[in-house]
A and B are shown apart, each in its own frame.
Chain A
């Protein structure tokens, strides 16, 4: 009796069998054979790629824009050496169709090799997200020499605080969407060990989320340091919140100007921040701290994930390259009401956010202004862009205060590939 089900089973094209040794034993690997699926009791039914291809018709994210049925069919049977698969990488984008106005990335990496094994999908996604940067032909410059930064002191009548953040991944361990509990605990151990070696104004203390006292928790909340289990389905659907709060924690130096998150969305997120407008000092500490942490992990035989095509490797393709967001909280009551504000920001390669971070609204015309770009320009270049841009915005604000007119700056073409 041929019904649609048996038709699926007998389809000849693109069929693979996931053939595992019977229940109760470990498989050292699995065999993929291109032959008809049988409906035998011990074989998982495997459907042709066309039957597995996700329904992306209502989707608006970078993954959905580039995952054609052909690319899906080519990649669906592949896995990284750790066993991470395409379906896992795209799950967050399948589960979260996106917003008509905000285009999310819609996929993650489970390990460093994901960017190789799934390059046929990730490269076009990276190209779209990073303004035409082509990982196949271009190289990304890394430059953490903060001495090159100029004019990094803002007018503190306007700039309330300055901050630089990035992420780093420990080579050889899977990323948060895919890591096992043991790997996550290993990341924690490696990083906490290294941080314990920091000295001087970088010396600090680690607070593990599982072991925190109530008092410590309250202090971290008051300092605006504490991160909580993610609630955004964009993050939770990728699997990065599994086993919470096991092996998650926060480290900060005694002066509370250098902060590291462990095992949140990335292995580490590194943050340098201060009240006021001294972006130069913030960036100095950022670079010094990062380099010292790198030196300390290298002493123990570890290193950060990095390559010259993609720069620093992080979970989300949007954070490749520098992974850097340098920003300020700045008061721009007049400029923000000017109809040219959005265009000025865009031409300066800056973005605005509310002071609660991404997706929040501004409060009382105080904005979070930061760099738009992450990949294709170095850390020094991006922070300089922020410095030059914010200085320009303050000049505009001052002009408007005096009733003078402002000019929309020409578009910064450095970032158009």
Chain B
């Protein structure tokens, strides 16, 4: 179990092949990479906080995966996991993030002035715009591994930082365990409330332990900037609003993030970040920017077009239903967002979404008029 790290000594009494998991029916990134030889080399290691190889891979062992969806199958318990277990994680990162090499450097760019356009997505088609990312507080273990004391300390520090935000970022924290019924209903109506995860992918990693202790939601008074505390990551930061002004959403996102980061620095800590992996988060799939910028957009004609998937692929975008990951689209309205997280900066990813959605809307308009979209087909980004 993630929080019983002393147990690793017991495992060393058995041979590596006696402990090696049965991955014969598995289809996730971890299972593709974890050979018996790698298992043998890494199983005696621990991070300074005691996170072990078996802790990293437990979720991937317990969840063989889906034949069509390739899940990651491992998590980090602390910042050092990505170093200590790099022999396993580097190939997984490379596979998941389009060939990103162990020597590559990731560029961070949270200057919203560098975004071109993005304030004029046609509101007849774009219903809402949203940017989210995650942040981890350096020096604390991550949700799969943290103790109750650590999780509470993360909550306390985060709430103190958020309480000092002012202007249009001024807001309030709602701890999950102290919420009144009225507050809970309001948060549900606003689509802000997150609940205890039910996905076995998440549960098997240990991140739902002690729920709802140390968990909560903060949002500003105008309900356009929202922070989740201690869900899958220390912090998930979300900027959103109705309509197509992605520029404004991104402006607020960057401003808010930088203010929060400054506040943490004043308290003597910072976010987990390095120049190879960018921002460090629990799931390797969220490394780099951890950023998903997306819109809810009405494209009933485009989405039925034979070339829809191809267009998305070339634009480096992905589609989801409006309920989020793994949901189906309703009435031709899709959630369109960037497919990448690592190897591109925040500005570059939001630019891809802005430019790509603009093109999708142009194509939709052409299809409405019964015209062809062949001359609009983009090149592969």
What's the Cα separation between A182 and B157 when bound, in Å? 41
In the assembly, what is the distance between CA of A414 and CA of B148, in Å? 43
**B209→A94 contact, CB < 8 A:** yes
The answer for the CA separation of A267 and B152 in the assembled complex, in Å, is 36
Would you call B7 an interface residue if the criterion is a C-beta within 8 Å of the partner chain's C-beta atoms?
A: yes
A242 at the interface (CB under 8 A from B): yes
The CA-CA distance from A47 to B4 in the complex, in Å, is 16
Inter-chain contact A243/B213, CB cutoff 8 Å: no
Q: Is the CB of B45 within 8 A of A95?
A: no
Contact B46 A20 (CB under 8 A): yes
**Cβ of B21: which chain A residues have Cβ within 8 Å of it?**
181, 243, 246
15 CB-based A-B contacts, threshold 8 Å: A18-B50, A23-B46, A26-B12, A41-B48, A45-B139, A46-B149, A47-B153, A52-B149, A83-B7, A83-B10, A85-B3, A180-B54, A181-B19, A242-B204, A244-B62
Give residues 226-248 of B contacting A (CB, 8 Å). none
Q: How far is the CA of A182 from the CA of B268 in the complex (A)?
A: 44
A70-92 toward B: CB 8 Å interface, digit per residue (1/0)? 00000000010011110110010
Given A30-B6, A42-B48, A246-B21: A182 in contact with B14 (beta carbons within 8 A): yes
Q: Are B177 and A55 in contact (CB under 8 A)?
A: yes
A52 surroundings in chain B (CB, below 8 A): 147-149
Closest to B150 in A: A45
Scoring A91, A182, A236 by chain B CB atoms within 10 A of each residue's CB, the highest score goes to A182
**In the docked arrangement, what's the CA distance between A1 and B14, Å?**
49
Residues of B within 8 A of A185 (CB): 18
Main secondary structure of the interface of A (DSSP, over half): loop
Rounded to whole Å, the gap between the CB of B269 and the closest CB of chain A is 9
Within 8 A of B (CB), among A45-78: 45-48, 51-55, 58
Check A43 against B209 for contact (C-beta < 8 Å): no
Answer whether residue B182 sits at the interface, using C-beta atoms and an 8 A cutoff: no
Shortest Cβ distance from A3 into B: residue: B267
- State in angstroms the CA–CA spacing of A170 and B118 once bound together: 65
Q: Min CB distance, A12 to chain B, in Å?
A: 16
Digit string of B181-199 for contact with A (CB within 8 Å is 1, else 0)? 0000000000000000000
Q: Complex Cα distance A353/B146, Å?
A: 39
Contact with B along A201-243 (1 / 0, CB 8 A): 0000000001000000000000000000000000011010111
Given A23-B84, A83-B4, A246-B21, are A94 and B210 neighbors across the interface (CB < 8 Å)?
yes
B229 to chain A, nearest CB (A): 15
The answer to whether residues A1 and B149 also contact, given A54-B210, A83-B7, A185-B18 and a CB cut-off of 8 A, is no
Judging by beta carbons under 8 Å apart, are B48 and A20 in contact? yes
Residues of A9-30 contacting chain B, CB below 8 A: 18, 20, 22-30
**Interface membership of A178, Cβ < 8 A:** yes
Q: How far is the CA of A43 from the CA of B80 in the complex (A)?
A: 12
If the complex has contacts A91-B209, A182-B19, are A27 and B9 also in contact, measured as CB distance less than 8 A? yes
Which one of A48, A54, A239 contacts B1 once the chains associate, using CB atoms below 8 Å? A239
In the complex, what residues of B have CB within 8 A of residue A84's CB?
Answer: 4, 7
**CB proximity of B218 to chain A, nearest CB, Å:** 17
Give the complex CA separation of A174 and B209 in angstroms. 22
**Which residue of the partner chain, among B11, B45, B160, B266, contacts A23 with CB atoms under 8 Å?**
B45
Which of the listed residues B15, B48, B147, B160 has the most CB atoms from chain A within 10 Å of its own CB?
A: B48
Closest to A47 in B: B149
A230 vs chain B, min Cβ distance (A): 12
Chain B CB within 8 A of A183 CB: yes
Q: State the CA gap A47–B15 with chains docked (Å).
A: 35
Q: Enumerate B200-237 residues with CB–CB distance to A below 8 Å.
A: 203-204, 208-211, 213
Structural contact, B9 and A243, CB atoms closer than 8 A: no
| Cβ contact within 8 Å between B177 and A88 | no
- Chain A contacts for B15, CB-based, 8 A: 182
Assess whether A44 is interfacial by the CB under 8 Å rule.
Answer: yes
Q: Tell me the residues in window 5-31 of chain B with beta carbons closer than 8 Å to chain A beta carbons.
A: 6-12, 14-15, 18-22
Whether B7 contacts A243 by the Cβ 8 Å rule is no
Residues in A whose Cβ lies below 8 Å from that of B48:
20, 22-23, 41-44
CB pair B10–A44 under 8 Å, yes or no, is: no
Q: Which residues of B have CB within 8 Å of A85?
A: 3-4, 6
Indicate if the CB atoms of B208 and A87 lie closer than 8 Å. Answer: no
> Looking across the interface, which residue of chain B has its beta carbon closest to that of A89?
B4
Q: In whole angstroms, how far apart are the Cα atoms of A20 and B9 in the complex?
A: 13
The answer to whether B49 has its CB under 8 Å from any CB of chain A is yes
Q: How far is the CA of A183 from the CA of B12 in the complex (A)?
A: 11
> What are the residues of chain B within 8 A of A91 when measuring CB–CB?
1, 3, 209-210
Pick from B62, B147, B267: contact of A241, CB under 8 Å: B62
For the A-B complex with A27-B9, A53-B148, A95-B210 known, give 18 more contacts whose Cβ atoms are closer than 8 Å. A1-B266, A5-B157, A18-B50, A27-B8, A28-B9, A30-B50, A55-B177, A87-B3, A91-B3, A91-B210, A94-B210, A95-B209, A174-B10, A182-B11, A185-B18, A210-B22, A242-B62, A243-B21
Contact yes or no, A180 B141, CB < 8 A: no
Contacting residues, chain A, for B22 (C-beta < 8 A):
210, 243, 246
Chain A residue at smallest Cβ distance from B138: A41
Residue A137 at the B interface, CB < 8 A?
no
Residues of chain B within 8 A of A25, CB atoms compared: 44-45
How far is it, in angstroms, between the C-alpha of A239 and the C-alpha of B129 when the chains are bound?
40
A114 to chain B, nearest CB (A): 12
A60 to chain B: closest CB distance in Å? 16
Contacts of A28 in B (CB 8 A): 9
Minimal Cβ-Cβ distance residue in A for B9 = A83
Q: Please, which residues of chain B bring their CB within 8 A of the CB of A26?
A: 8-9, 12, 44-46
Is A4 a contact partner of B3 (Cβ separation < 8 A)?
no
Among residues 140 to 176 in chain B, which have CB atoms less than 8 Å away from a CB atom of chain A? 140-141, 147-150, 152-153, 156-157, 160
Q: Which residues of the partner chain B approach A239 to less than 8 Å between Cβ atoms?
A: 1
Asked if A8 is at the interface (CB within 8 A of a chain B CB), the reply is yes
A210 neighbours in B (Cβ, 8 Å): 22
Q: How far is the CB of A89 from chain B (nearest CB, A)?
A: 10
Query: A39 interface residue, CB < 8 Å from B?
Result: yes
B128: CB under 8 A from chain A?
Answer: no
Complex CA gap A23/B52 in Å reads 11
Q: Which of B54-68 contact A (CB under 8 A)?
A: 54, 58, 61-62
Residue B47 interfacial (CB < 8 Å): yes
Give B61's nearest chain A residue, CB to CB.
A243
Task: Answer yes or no: B83 CB below 8 A from chain A CBs.
Answer: yes
Alpha-carbon distance A53/B204, docked complex (angstroms): 23
Known: A43-B48, A44-B141, A94-B209. A236 touches B203 (CB 8 A): yes
